[in-house]
Every structure is written in C-alpha cells, then in structure tokens.
Amino acid sequence: MKAINVVGAVIQNEQGEILCALRSSTMSMPNLWEFPGGKIKEGEAPEEALVREIQEELGCRLQVGELVANIVHEYPTIKVRLLTYHAKIIEGEPKALEHAELRWVSKDHLTSIEWAPADLPTVARVVE
C-alpha cells in the first residue's frame, strides 16, 4: 500500500472561526472538507511544507504554531500520515486557488460538515 505524509493547517480568525477547505470535484475524495495543506516533499520539514502548501493553495503566508494532531489513516488504496498544526495568517487573504470553496466555520459547527476521514481526529481535538 502506498503511503504519503501530508500536513494541514488549523487556521483561526479573530472571531475564533476555523478555516475549512472543500475538496474540488477533480481532487481525490471530492466534495469533502479538510484543513488546507498538502504533501510533504522529500527532505522537507513538515512546517516548511505547510508554509509552501498554503502559499500555493490559498495565496497567503503562514506562521506555523504547535502540533495539533499526528494521525495515520488507512484508506482503501493509500495510507496517509497527517500532521496538523495551529497556524496564523501573517500576510494575505486566503483564496480558494485549488479548492471548490473556503469557509470560516465556528468551532460549534465544525462537526456539522462532512470531513475527509483523516481530518476527523483533528476536528475532535479542535472542538474539545
């Protein structure tokens, strides 16, 4: 089974809402919500990967904070190790450059949207 390492950002705004990204119809697991991020390249630190991925996907710069969760999830064809970090936007406004939609969601409503399975443990930690 193929294995990949990915990172995700738990970005909170001034109102305490969390930035959620809807996977587009052309992505694997389309129309499911996720924390924005992406694959870690060979030799890249997870925090560096997260800064790069957010720049590519959302067009803004991040400051990476503490680790939220380190999850391994097995899908039918791939094993994903997902590292999610608290992060803060330090430059720019997030735009959906690769996702179908971006939405700021209050912590109370995070469980009401349909998440990619690997993101569910992070959602649980964020709403605790």
How far apart are alpha carbons 19 and 48 in whole angstroms? 19
Is 34 annotated as a binding-site member? yes
Is 121 annotated as a binding-site member? no
User: Which residue blocks in 18-103 are alpha helix, DSSP H?
Assistant: 46-58
User: Which two tokens mark 33?
Assistant: 């919500």
Is 125 annotated as a binding-site member? no
Q: Which of 103, 80, 70, 87 is nearest to 29 (CA)?
A: 80
Is 35 annotated as a binding-site member? yes
Is 37 annotated as a binding-site member? yes
Which residues define the annotated binding site for 8-oxo-dGTP? 23, 34-37
Which residues define the annotated binding site? 23, 34-37, 57
Which residues define the annotated binding site for Mg(2+)? 37, 57
